[in-house]
């Protein structure tokens, strides 16, 4: 039941009982008053009867008119009193009627007396009658007194009884009232005071931050609702707090809150672990208590900067901890305010980037090493272009001189050896040139312009004239597109691809090479297909690697660099070069280049 | 008689050049310096070279001991007396950097040393014809 309903019921009940009590009290008072009145009436009646009796006695001794008049007056008064008594004391109705009859009787005696006095024929007879009446009068008056005493006695008992009854009623009513008040108090104690105490205790727990505390009030009234709402609120707060704490305490970053003067307010688990302390111990301490002055000064300056600028700042910081190692941090520091936007202090989240710094340093040194080795490579390329070729030139040149000047002095065998020398030198020079070209592609930037591939193709075919003629190669080429590239490198690309197709043609079969192109999403896909021996799929990637040769020297004059150069050229242009082939039927080189 | 200074450290190259000159049968007096320092001395006619003639042409290798060909070029360009002598660079290098640098520093011609002797012979024949038969040069006399 709701408290307001309970209260309503209690108030109504109390009011009814109170009204009843008041009614009983008033009626008791009235009854008491009536009793007193009745008593007074009785006493008056008794006194009147006594006076009547004494008048009767007096008359019996000295009959006189004056006495009968007084009697009559008293009798009238008594009649009035008896009438009232009859009304207020119905229980004594018979006795009162009896008394009234007695009085009437006495009155008749008086009347007879008067009559006999007026009509006294005989003095002695009269005397005798008088004596008789006198005796009657005495007897009647005594009976009258007796009767009135009886009435008085009985009436007093009745009146007392009435009075007692109403007193008991009132006491009973009062007892009921007290009982109801006690019952109401106990019920209120249980339904309101106890739950209120529990709610008060619960809110005090909330105040000190014990959000896990739940108020044990489950009644279905307003207090139950209040405690339910408070419990829901503390659960929500607890959940939010737990969520926040989970984030703050489970992160590997260190988090801290400081007051305006740099004194720590709180820190998270990660920072506690790092400092080997806890948030209670650290409260109030400053960075100057934890670090060297040099480090603490910087940290403090950064805190101040965040508070002064009024927004989050990101800075790199260093700090030395118990492990003695200087840690590098990236710190986000920001001012914090209370609900009225007054500056409370600063807070920060610092992530240890020592590992990253270490890796960066390693990377820097690796980069330096790489640069060095790249420089070494370029030096090598330079050396290769000069120093490797100079002795080669001597070998080649003098072998040729021997052939020219001493051909008539040397036999056929010697001339044959000299041929070996010159062809070896030629191959070596071609290899050196290719290698130089490859290293140049590696290091140099290529200027891309709109290049007509037909022109590059023409240049390649011109350079390959001898091989084409010697092998009776048939090259079919449709109109080629314009791409973004370097003309020279494109010429080289075609020369190498076509040369390669000629070189690896099937023996005893004239090479047939087809060049086609198709446009595909901003790129040109150029295909160079041949009818050569083809290449097994496992070698499709290998053949583009430098110095990878699938055939021995005797088979062809390849130097193992041509296709590697092709791949490098295409990649330098941001394109792709790959191979597809059916062994025994031929190969297709696919070139993907950006359209101009 | 044309005076040519060949700055070259490789005896094989020197021999090949001498053979070429002989084979072409031109009246050429070939002087040899084996490094950049002596070449500069020669051209400035210092020390032991105080009596040498001013060459009509200089054949300069880039890859030299002590003082490199580029450095020699730089020094020659600093003095008016030596700046006017046509320098022809002979190099095994066909690196673009080497070529542009040589021309920027005043080389009159850049010849890539051919590995093939007969090709070299043809090149030298054309070169001599151009410089000695057609061109007019400060140090010598044109014959054309």
ipTM of the complex: 0.74
Q: What is the CATH number of the domain that holds A75?
A: 1.20.1440.210
End-of-domain residue from the set A352, A369, A388: A352
- C-beta separation of A167 from A161 below 8 A: no
User: In the structure encoding, which two tokens stand for residue A1, read together?
Assistant: 């039941």
Which of A387, A391, A400 shows the shortest C-beta gap to B117? A400
**Statement to judge: residues A288 and A315 lie in one domain:** yes
- C-beta separation of A484 from A594 below 8 A: yes
What pLDDT sits at residue A554? 45
End-of-domain residue from the set A184, A208, A223: A184
Q: What is the CATH number of the domain that holds A323?
A: 3.30.450.20
Question: Cβ–Cβ of B12/A398 closer than 8 Å?
Answer: yes
Question: Cβ–Cβ of B12/A440 closer than 8 Å?
Answer: no
Coil, helix or strand for A201? helix
What pLDDT sits at residue A30? 86
**Statement to judge: residues A257 and A170 lie in one domain:** no
The torsion of the CA quartet A142, A148, A151, A152, rounded to 10 degrees, works out to: -120
End-of-domain residue from the set A142, A163, A184: A184
Which of A387, A393, A429 shows the shortest C-beta gap to B13? A393
Q: Which domain, by its residues, includes A120?
A: 3-184
**Statement to judge: residues A10 and A135 lie in one domain:** yes
Q: Which residue of B has its CA nearest to A444?
A: B96
Domain ranges of chain B: 2-130
Full DSSP string of A363-378: HHHHHHHHHHHHHHHH
Q: How far is CA A429 from CA A91, A324, B97, in A?
A: 161, 61, 21
**Statement to judge: residues A389 and A468 lie in one domain:** no
Count of domains for chain A: 4
CA–CA–CA angle A429, A435, A440 (5° rounding): 125
**Mutation for testing the B interface, residue in A384, A397, A401 having most B CBs under 10 Å:** A397
**Statement to judge: residues A480 and A543 lie in one domain:** yes
Whether residue A217 lies inside any domain: the answer is no
Q: How far is CA A95 from CA A74, A90, A144, in A?
A: 19, 10, 11
User: Which residue is associated with the tokens 């950064």?
Assistant: A302
Question: Cβ–Cβ of A393/B118 closer than 8 Å?
Answer: no
Whether residue A233 lies inside any domain: the answer is no
Contacts of A393 in chain B (CB under 8 A): 12-13, 16, 92, 113-115
Q: Which residue of A has its CA nearest to B118?
A: A400
Q: How close, in Å, is residue B92 to chain A by CA atoms?
A: 5
Whether residue A202 lies inside any domain: the answer is no
CA–CA–CA angle A205, A209, A215 (5° rounding): 35
Whether residue A222 lies inside any domain: the answer is no
What pLDDT sits at residue B102? 94
Question: Cβ–Cβ of B115/A389 closer than 8 Å?
Answer: yes
CB pairs under 8 A between A and B: 60
**Whole-angstrom distance, CA of residue A332 vs CA of residue A351:** 9
Number of CB atoms found within 10 A of residue A434's CB: 18
Q: How far is CA A46 from CA A49, A100, A102, A432, in A?
A: 5, 13, 14, 166
Contacts of B10 in chain A (CB under 8 A): 390, 394
Contacts of A392 in chain B (CB under 8 A): 115
> Which of the 8 DSSP states describes residue A128?
H
- C-beta separation of A249 from A271 below 8 A: no
**Statement to judge: residues A371 and A426 lie in one domain:** yes
**Whole-angstrom distance, CA of residue A162 vs CA of residue A170:** 12
Whether residue A196 lies inside any domain: the answer is no
Question: Cβ–Cβ of A391/B12 closer than 8 Å?
Answer: yes
**Statement to judge: residues A52 and A177 lie in one domain:** yes
Which of A390, A401, A429 shows the shortest C-beta gap to B19? A401
Q: Which residues of chain B have pLDDT under 70?
A: 139-144
Whether residue A313 lies inside any domain: the answer is yes
Question: Cβ–Cβ of A389/B16 closer than 8 Å?
Answer: no
**Statement to judge: residues A337 and A374 lie in one domain:** no
Q: How close, in Å, is residue B10 to chain A by CA atoms?
A: 8
Encode pLDDT of B70-109 as tens digits: 999 999 999 888 899 999 999 888 778 889 999 999 999 9
Question: Cβ–Cβ of B95/A396 closer than 8 Å?
Answer: no
Enumerate the H helices of A444-543 as residue ranges. 453-463, 465-471, 487-503
Q: How close, in Å, is residue B1 to chain A by CA atoms?
A: 26
What pLDDT sits at residue B140? 47
User: Which residue is associated with the tokens 């002064």?
Assistant: A308
Q: Which residues of chain A have pLDDT under 50?
A: 553-556
Q: What is the CATH number of the domain that holds A465?
A: 3.30.565.10
Q: How close, in Å, is residue B117 to chain A by CA atoms?
A: 5
What pLDDT sits at residue A118? 67
- C-beta separation of A317 from A299 below 8 A: yes
Q: How far is CA B71 from CA A34, A133, B75, B104, B105, in A?
A: 152, 192, 6, 13, 10
**Statement to judge: residues A420 and A451 lie in one domain:** no
Residues of chain B with a CB closer than 8 angstroms to some CB in chain A: 10, 12-13, 15-16, 19, 62-63, 91-95, 113-118, 120
Task: List the CATH code of the domain at B2-130.
Answer: 3.40.50.2300
What pLDDT sits at residue A122? 63
> Which of the 8 DSSP states describes residue B115?
S
What pLDDT sits at residue A496? 92
Q: Which residues of A173-210 are buried (b: 16+ CB within 10 A; e: fewer)?
A: beeebeebeeebeeeeeebbeebeeebeebeebbeeee
Whether residue A518 lies inside any domain: the answer is yes
Question: Cβ–Cβ of B91/A386 closer than 8 Å?
Answer: yes
Q: How far is CA A117 from CA A58, A99, B115, in A?
A: 17, 27, 205
**Statement to judge: residues A277 and A401 lie in one domain:** no
Q: Which residues of A493-531 are buried (b: 16+ CB within 10 A; e: fewer)?
A: bbbbbbbbbbbbbeeeeebbbbbebeeeeebbbbebbbb
Helix (H) or strand (E) holding B5: strand B2-7
Q: Which residues of A383-400 are buried (b: 16+ CB within 10 A; e: fewer)?
A: ebbbebbbebbbbbbbbb
Question: Cβ–Cβ of B115/A393 closer than 8 Å?
Answer: yes
């Amino acid at each position: 039941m709701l408290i307001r309903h309970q209260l309503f019921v209690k108030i109504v009940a109390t009011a009814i009982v109170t009204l009843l009590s008041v009614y009983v009290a008033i009626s008791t008072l009235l009854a008491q008053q009536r009793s007193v009145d009745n008593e007074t009436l009785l006493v008056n009646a008794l006194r009147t009867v006594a006076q009547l009796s004494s008048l009767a006695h007096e008359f019996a001794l000295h009959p006189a008119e004056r006495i009968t008049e007084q009697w009559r007056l008293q009798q009238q008064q008594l009649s009035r009193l008896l009438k009232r008594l009859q009304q207020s004391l119905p229980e004594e109705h018979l006795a009162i009627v009896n008394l009234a009859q007695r009085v009437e009787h006495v009155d008749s005696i008086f009347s007879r007396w008067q009559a006999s006095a007026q009509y006294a024929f005989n003095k002695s007879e009269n005397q005798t009658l008088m004596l008789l009446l006198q005796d009657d009068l005495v007897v009647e008056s005594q009976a009258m007194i007796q009767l009135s005493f009886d009435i008085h006695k009985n009436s007093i008992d009745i009146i007392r009884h009435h009075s007692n009854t109403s007193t008991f009623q009132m006491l009973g009513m009062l007892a009921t009232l007290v009982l109801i008040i006690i019952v109401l108090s106990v019920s209120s104690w249980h339904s309101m005071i106890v739950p209120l105490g529990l709610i008060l205790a619960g809110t005090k727990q909330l105040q000190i931050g014990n959000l896990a505390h739940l108020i044990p009030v489950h009644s279905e009234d307003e207090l139950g609702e209040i405690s339910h709402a408070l419990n829901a609120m503390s659960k929500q707060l607890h959940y939010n707090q737990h969520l926040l704490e989970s984030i703050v305490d489970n992160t590997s970053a260190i988090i801290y809150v400081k007051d305006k003067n740099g004194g720590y307010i709180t820190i998270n688990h990660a920072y506690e672990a790092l400092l080997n302390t806890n948030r209670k111990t650290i409260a109030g301490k400053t960075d100057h208590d934890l670090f060297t002055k040099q480090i603490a000064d910087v940290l403090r300056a950064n805190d101040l900067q965040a508070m002064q600028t009024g927004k989050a700042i990101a800075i790199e910081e260093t700090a030395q901890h118990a492990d003695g190692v200087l840690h590098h941090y990236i710190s986000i520091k920001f001012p914090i305010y209370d609900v009225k936007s007054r500056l409370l202090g600063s807070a920060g989240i610092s992530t240890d980037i020592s590992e990253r710094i270490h890796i960066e340093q390693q990377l820097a040194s690796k980069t330096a090493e790489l640069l060095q080795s790249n420089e070494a490579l370029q030096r090598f390329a330079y050396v290769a272009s000069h120093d490797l070729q100079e002795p080669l030139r001597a070998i080649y040149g003098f072998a040729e001189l021997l052939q020219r000047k001493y051909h008539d002095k040397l036999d056929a065998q010697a001339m044959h050896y000299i041929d070996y020398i010159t062809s070896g030198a030629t191959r070596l020079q071609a290899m050196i040139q290719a290698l130089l070209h490859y290293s140049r592609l590696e290091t140099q930037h290529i200027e891309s312009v709109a290049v007509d591939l037909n022109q590059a193709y023409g240049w390649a075919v011109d350079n390959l004239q001898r091989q084409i003629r010697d092998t009776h190669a048939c090259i079919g080429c449709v109109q080629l597109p314009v791409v973004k590239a370097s003309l020279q490198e494109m010429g080289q690309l075609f020369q190498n691809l076509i040369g390669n197709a000629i070189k690896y043609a099937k023996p005893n079969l004239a090479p047939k090479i087809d060049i086609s192109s198709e446009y595909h999403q901003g790129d040109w896909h150029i295909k160079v297909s041949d009818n050569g021996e083809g290449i097994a799929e496992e070698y499709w990637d290998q053949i583009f690697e430098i110095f990878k040769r699938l055939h021995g020297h005797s088979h062809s004059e390849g130097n193992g660099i041509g296709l590697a150069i092709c791949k490098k050229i295409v990649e330098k242009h941001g394109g792709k070069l790959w191979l597809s082939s059916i062994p025994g039927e031929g190969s297709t080189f696919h070139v993907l280049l950006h359209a101009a | 008689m044309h005076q040519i200074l060949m700055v070259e450290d490789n005896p094989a190259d020197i021999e090949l050049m001498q053979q070429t000159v002989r084979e072409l049968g031109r009246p050429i007096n070939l002087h040899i310096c084996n490094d950049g320092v002596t070449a500069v001395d020669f051209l400035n006619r210092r020390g032991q070279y105080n009596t040498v003639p001013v060459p009509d042409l200089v054949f300069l290798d880039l890859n030299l001991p002590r003082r490199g060909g580029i450095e020699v070029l730089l020094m020659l360009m600093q003095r008016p007396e030596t700046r006017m002598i046509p320098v022809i660079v002979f190099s095994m290098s066909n690196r673009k950097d080497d070529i542009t640098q040589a021309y920027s520093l005043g080389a009159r011609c850049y010849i890539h040393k051919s590995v093939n002797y007969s090709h070299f012979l043809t090149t030298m024949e054309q070169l001599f014809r151009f410089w000695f038969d057609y061109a007019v040069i400060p140090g010598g006399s044109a014959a054309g």
